[in-house]
Amino acid sequence: MIFAPERHPKITAMMSTSHLNATIADAEARIAAGERSAAPYLQRGSALVGLGRYADALVDFDFAAIIDSGNGSVRVARAEVLLQLDRVSAAMDDLDAALEIEPNQAAGWLLRGVAKLRNGDWPASESDCTRAITLGSDDFVVWKTRGRARHQLGDIAASVDDYDRAIESRPDDVECLYWRGLSRRDLGDHARAIADFTRAIDMDPLFSQAYVSRGKSRSALGDMAAARADWTMAAQLLHHSH
């Protein structure tokens, strides 16, 4: 389970709807007044991202990129939207170009790490996320993404460390709890794996795979009755989802 587009935590800072709408209105006034720079399109596009209007934001970022093709920040902003729209290859092209222009932009390395993860390129994802961290990124997403890449690469203990950092900043992220549970299970730490799976289930009771995984850890500890109960629940959830 690689991050689904709708579960990507946005790099864009969260603002109130009223603030976002006011930001859009201000940008539109600048455009109507004849401002020819990329700035108002970037401003409006960023606000539209905050409202979840990714297709509309992409139009603005396209305009901004045409006006200022050498602006790495515009390309990073557009890449974020392209990832939300599951257009990974196009996002990668923007991020490659952005990092050629501004190689010390941590957000670009982070987003490219996410894109590489989505493409299944675990070594490149780990490398890009590490570069983002070296450049000062302490974003929840960077730890979650590198943890996932490290898990796939078999560096299980290091993946747990990364998930720990991610969960410190966002303790209610269901995916991160689930993946840390898998890493702990792979290390044979079934008791703490069960705790992670249980927290994930508490937050998302329809998360069938978490029941399956918790059942495996319970089975490994000899609690077959509880394991069977988890597997039965998982089967019921999967049946009702089809």
Q: Look up residue 205 and give its two tokens.
A: 């009771």
pLDDT at residue 242, as a whole number: 65
Give residue 102's pLDDT band: very low, low, confident or very high (50, 70, 90).
very high
Q: Does 4 score more than 70 pLDDT?
A: no
Q: Look up residue 57 and give its two tokens.
A: 């934001």
Q: Look up residue 151 and give its two tokens.
A: 């898990």
Q: Does 142 score more than 90 pLDDT?
A: yes
Average pLDDT over residues 166-183: 97
Question: Global pTM?
Answer: 0.86
Q: What are the b/e assignments for 156-191, b being 16+ CB within 10 Å?
A: bebbbebbebbbeeeeebbbbbbbbbbbbbeeebbe
Q: What is the tens place of the pLDDT at every residue in 49-67?
A: 999 999 999 999 999 999 9
Q: Out of 5-9, 103-107, 174-178, which region has the weakest mean confidence (pLDDT)?
A: 5-9
Q: Are 77 and 91 in contact (CB under 8 A)?
A: no
Taken in order of first residue, the domains within the chain and their CATH numbers are: 1-103 (1.25.40.10), 120-167 (no CATH), 171-242 (1.25.40.10)
Over pLDDT 90: what percentage of the chain? Answer: 90
Q: Is 85 exposed, middle or buried (0-12, 13-18, 19+ CB in 10 A)?
A: middle
Closest CA to 45 of 5, 3, 12: 12
Give residue 241's pLDDT band: very low, low, confident or very high (50, 70, 90).
confident
Q: Does 182 score more than 60 pLDDT?
A: yes
Over pLDDT 70: what percentage of the chain? Answer: 93
